[in-house]
Amino acid sequence: MTYQKFLAVCGILVTFGWALTACGGREQTPADAAQTSENESGDAGNADTAAELIEVTVEEVGTFYLPEGFALEESGISEEGLPRGYASFVKDGMYVDGGRFGKDAYDAAGLPLPESLEEYSQRDGVKNGLPEGTEFKTDSYGNLYAEYTVDGRYCYQVLKMGEESCGAVTFTCDENEIEEAKKLDFALWLSKMQLK
């Protein structure tokens, strides 16, 4: 299966799953603010990596922080199922894909916004887009993430919430490149991404 087909299948699965449950945002609580402040401080070892990230804003999705060399491959609004903003970046066979459902999608689905990322991670639409048995965990940056492999591609998916939006940002690479990719600290890039 080509990578383009892989992206199309993943996009359809995620879109279909999210369309069934619609995702949402919430106000930031004091506990969230403390967690965010803690995560933003990071360790001194990551300060150099963070300084090298380039801010890229995609109107339909939000703001990404990526190393130099990542190029925006495509972005837009998908009207298949519920309206969803998307963006895909590529560099040397590595991809960072982001998707966002806004309030219009939740209203169309007639479902309430989740109260937290944990609640969001348990919604059928999110779980249906992942391989069976995949569980979300919290990484060292505070990301609620899931790791899995599909058709020879390693995926590290992080759930995100905006003020009135919900979505995910996913790093993918060939499964044979996982160890090299992990040296790049892509979890840091994904932790900084902000949904609009």
- Residue bearing the bigger pLDDT, 12 or 99: 99
Cα distance between residue 128 and residue 123, in whole Å: 9
Look up residue 44 and give its DSSP letter: G
pLDDT at 118 over 50: yes
Residue 49 has a pLDDT of 54
Count CB atoms within 10 A of the CB of residue 21: 22
The CB density around residue 63, as the number of other CB atoms within 10 Å, is 14
Looking at the predicted structure, is the pLDDT value of residue 16 above 80?
no
For residue 100, what are the contacts with CB-CB under 8 A and spacing of at least 6?
60, 61, 62, 84, 85, 86, 160, 162, 165, 166, 167, 195, 196
CATH architecture of 3-195: 3-Layer(aba) Sandwich (3.40)
User: Dihedral angle at the C-alpha atoms of 88, 78, 156, 133, nearest 10 degrees?
Assistant: -160
Instruction: Tell me the mean pLDDT in the region 45-67.
Output: 82
Calculate the alpha carbon distances from 135 to 45, 121, 166, 182 in Å: 28, 9, 18, 19
Q: Is pLDDT at 23 greater than 50 in this prediction?
A: no
Q: What is the pLDDT of residue 82?
A: 86
The answer to whether the pTM exceeds 0.85 is no
φ and ψ of 147, to 5 deg: -115, 135
Percent pLDDT > 70 in the chain is 74
Whose tokens are 């790093």? That residue is: 171
> How high is the mean pLDDT of the chain?
79
pLDDT at position 28 over 80: no
pLDDT reading at 29 higher than 80 = no
Handedness of CA 5, 8, 11, 12 (dihedral sign): negative
The b/e string for 34-44 (b: 16+ C-beta within 10 A; e otherwise) is eeeeebeebee
Looking at residue 50, what is its pLDDT? 57
Report residue 51's pLDDT band, with 50, 70 and 90 as the boundaries. low
Q: What pLDDT does 5 receive?
A: 40
State residue 12's pLDDT score.
36
Q: Compare 139 and 81 and report the one with higher pLDDT.
A: 139
**19: pLDDT strictly greater than 50:** no
What pLDDT sits at residue 106? 86
> Which residue ranges make up each domain of the chain?
3-195
pLDDT at 46 exceeding the cut of 60: no
Taking alpha carbons only, the member of 23, 21, 8 closest to residue 159 is 23
Report residue 15's pLDDT band, with 50, 70 and 90 as the boundaries. very low
Classified as helix, coil or strand, 129 is coil
